[in-house]
């Protein structure tokens, strides 16, 4: 199956989750993620902000947890720039956001953050395979971003569903180090 068909399939699977199933899956993912991260070794986390209408896994629990328990950790979010590139901005409790053309919340202003100082990136996805390849939304934002990051940076995808057998892989695709699902944590080399 090609990527376009896989995207349709997994968007449909998300849309057909009941509110109860969605909330329960998110709680299970958050519990696993919170226990997975080695908080004391993290100084800066890149976090995606979910598209509300697309049933993306919310990252607000992570933001709240960091602010409450690890205020020394810098929180960084993306903003879409020209040519499908991401810019990265440090956020604060008072940061104001607006939605871009795709419905993604982005900071209205803020301090740019160098990606070579990131220790961890929380990455959105629609699906993933047993090798850590992710199926994104098709614009290549995250593959370009991850290709610029240190190969030592941990990358964690959040998925509502278990891995699939095969995602068509392109030379520009960057596999993740970890994916967290409601039922399991998958680690990749």
Full-model pTM? 0.94
Over residues 97-153, the pLDDT tens digits come to 999 888 889 999 888 999 999 999 999 999 999 999 999 988 788 999 999 999 899
Query: Residue 84 sits in which domain range?
Result: 3-187
pLDDT of residue 102: 83
Q: Which residues, listed in sequence order, are joined to residue 32 by a DSSP beta bridge?
A: none
Of 49, 60, 37, the residue nearest 177 (C-alpha): 37
What CATH number does residue 96 fall under? 3.40.50.10420
Q: What are phi and psi of 8, to 5 degrees?
A: -60, -45
Of 114, 113, 123, 110, the residue nearest 158 (C-alpha): 123
For residue 189, is pLDDT > 80?
Answer: no
Over residues 45-94, the pLDDT tens digits come to 999 999 878 899 999 999 999 999 999 999 999 998 877 789 999 999 99
Q: Which residues, listed in sequence order, are joined to residue 75 by a DSSP beta bridge?
A: 45
Of 123, 148, 121, 149, the residue nearest 136 (C-alpha): 123
Rounded average pLDDT over 165-185: 93
pLDDT band at 1 (very low <50, low <70, confident <90, very high): confident
For 61-64, the CB contacts below 8 A with 24+ separation are 61/26, 61/30, 61/34, 62/30, 62/33, 62/34, 62/122
Over residues 16-46, the pLDDT tens digits come to 999 999 999 999 999 999 999 999 999 999 9
Number of domains forming the structure of the chain:
1
């Amino acid at each position: 199956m090609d990527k376009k068909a896989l995207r349709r399939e997994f968007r449909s699977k998300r849309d057909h989750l009941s509110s109860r199933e969605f909330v329960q899956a998110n709680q299970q993912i958050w519990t696993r993620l919170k226990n997975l991260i080695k908080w004391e070794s993290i100084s800066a986390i890149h976090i995606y902000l979910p598209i509300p209408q697309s049933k993306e896994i919310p990252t607000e629990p992570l933001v709240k947890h960091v602010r409450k328990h690890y205020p020394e950790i810098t929180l960084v979010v993306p903003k879409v720039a020209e040519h499908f590139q991401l810019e990265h901005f440090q956020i604060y409790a008072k940061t104001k956001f607006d939605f871009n053309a795709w419905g993604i919340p982005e900071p209205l202003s803020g301090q740019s953050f160098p990606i070579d100082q990131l220790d961890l990136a929380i990455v959105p996805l629609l699906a993933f395979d047993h090798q850590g390849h992710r199926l994104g939304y098709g614009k290549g934002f995250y593959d370009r971003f991850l290709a610029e990051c240190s190969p030592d940076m941990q990358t964690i995808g959040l998925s509502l569903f278990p891995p699939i057998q095969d995602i068509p892989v392109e030379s520009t695709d960057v596999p993740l180090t970890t994916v967290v699902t409601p039922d399991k944590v998958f680690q990749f080399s």
